[in-house]
Amino acid sequence: MNKFLTLLTTAFALILPPAFAKQPNILFIITDDQGYGDISAHGNPILKTPNLDRLRSESVRFEDFHVSPTCAPTRSALFTGRHEFKNGVTHTVCERERLSLNSITLAQTLRDAGYATGIFGKWHLGDESEYLPSARGFTEMFIHGAGGIGQSYPGSCGDAPGNKYFNPAIFHNGKFVKTEGYCTDIFFRQASGWIRSQQQAGKPFFAYISTNAPHSPYTAKPGDAALYEGKVDQKPLAHFFGMIHNIDENIGKLLTELKDWGIEQDTIVIFMNDNGSAAGSPVFNAGMRGHKGSPWLGGTRASSFWRWPGTWKPGETKALAAHIDIFPTLAQVTGLTLPEAAKKQIEGRSLVPLLENPGAKWPDRHLVTHQGRWPKNADPNESKFTMTAVRNTRWALVSENGGIEPAWQLFDLSEDYGQKNDVSAAHPGVVKELSAAFDKWWDECLPLMVNEKVVGPKLNPFAVRYWEQFGGSPTQADYDRMDPTKPGKSSPRGKKKAQ
């Protein structure tokens, strides 16, 4: 659920004339902790994902698409078009998951262009009122708190007390609703109804479905988990695959609905995952090293499917692309007029040339990955070279165990995608080039890490809102568990009364 990555080259095709005459609808689906290898069409020998396989076959597919190693960072980058550190997002908790209030979001610009904008599921870019999706461009908000259902951490990051994957309390446009069913089903069902209402009203929509699944705790519907029990050697992994099976079924149902409603050819469908696999990499990882949280390719390579029937011909591109490219791409596709601040903010590239022709020329670039997650109130420079990497199309320079000083290893991805052989001694010029790009990027990021010294509230806002709505109050134990000065405490009990 967390990760980090950036573009250093000058913005490429940043704000181009609108590429299409009509503003399309946008259905954006992002899953949590499902890696590139957790799709059957990518070679997974156990997991079956027929609907994702179909979507993939009908899409322009980016085979070298990268995100951040963990979740809040990726979400920050895709909504702003720039690396998460430049949005103040250097962690997934400790107030360092909050998207800087100076950042302009994709949702804001789409809303201002006349789109209905709805979020369903996970936000994880700030739970305090001014950071909520409703304050960052979404006209419809149906979310859980924190980075996962039921999570709670010291400070501002937390969900409603006592929430679980079944029957969770969901924050809907400022009020909690008690839902019935499994979380993924609930998010897709709510999104489906909202999409249908916008379609009937004749308004273009941006529907952002952000599933909590298959993030831990691995809890699938019993029937979904049963599909993989006996096929894998651990019960949690059977639930992990079962959660993905449920996502796959919901995607298939929604794609059918788009066709039945007559809007399939008017709707761009985008699917991606937010970081490397959390649980599935031991089963299948497409030959990559690493997993969620790491700077290796297994921590950052993601699925990226873009389908627009009748407009984009399905195909595959190997161009080096990233989450920071989503904002400028959708800006061009929808013909957005961006404010100057947004133009200066975006460092990604429009992918439209590749969507129209997967074999189009694509200038090389530098992308930076950094895990972040240094201790609270620590000097970031002490972790400058910890769990980080900088790469271009051919080369990846990785420092896994450095600190103030680097411990660089160099890998030639053209012949060693598994990152097994360090060739830094044979290519000192490449090391020098990539390390200089990294140093430049780091110096740009430091003044924009605005959340490093922030002190969070005594109780997380979702818990407070929940108690205000349903009654009850926190105990001293609740305060102790969520004391920002005592990181690592467990979730609060959350006393409540029936209403």
- 417-434 pLDDT, tens digit each: 999 999 999 999 999 999
In the predicted structure, residue 3 carries a pLDDT above the cut 90: no
Least confident of 242-256, 324-338, 480-494: 480-494
| pLDDT value at residue 473 | 76
User: In which residue are the tokens 């599935």 written?
Assistant: 280
**Torsion of the alpha carbons at 82, 86, 92 and 97, rounded to the nearest 10:** -100
In the predicted structure, residue 14 carries a pLDDT above the cut 90: no
| pLDDT value at residue 499 | 27
| pLDDT value at residue 492 | 33
Q: What percent of the chain has pLDDT over 70?
A: 91
- Domains assigned to the chain: 6-356 (3.40.720.10), 367-448 (3.30.1120.10)
| Average pLDDT for 358-387 | 97
CA 313, CA 460: separation in Å to the nearest integer? Answer: 47
Closest CA to 270 of 23, 31, 73: 31
| pLDDT value at residue 5 | 37
CA 431, CA 14: separation in Å to the nearest integer? Answer: 29
In the predicted structure, residue 11 carries a pLDDT above the cut 80: no
- 183-231 pLDDT, tens digit each: 999 999 999 999 999 999 999 999 999 999 999 999 999 999 999 999 9
In the predicted structure, residue 495 carries a pLDDT above the cut 50: no
Mean pLDDT, all residues of the chain: 92
In the predicted structure, residue 493 carries a pLDDT above the cut 60: no
More confident residue, 208 or 16: 208
In the predicted structure, residue 2 carries a pLDDT above the cut 50: no
3-class SS of residue 10: coil
In the predicted structure, residue 34 carries a pLDDT above the cut 60: yes
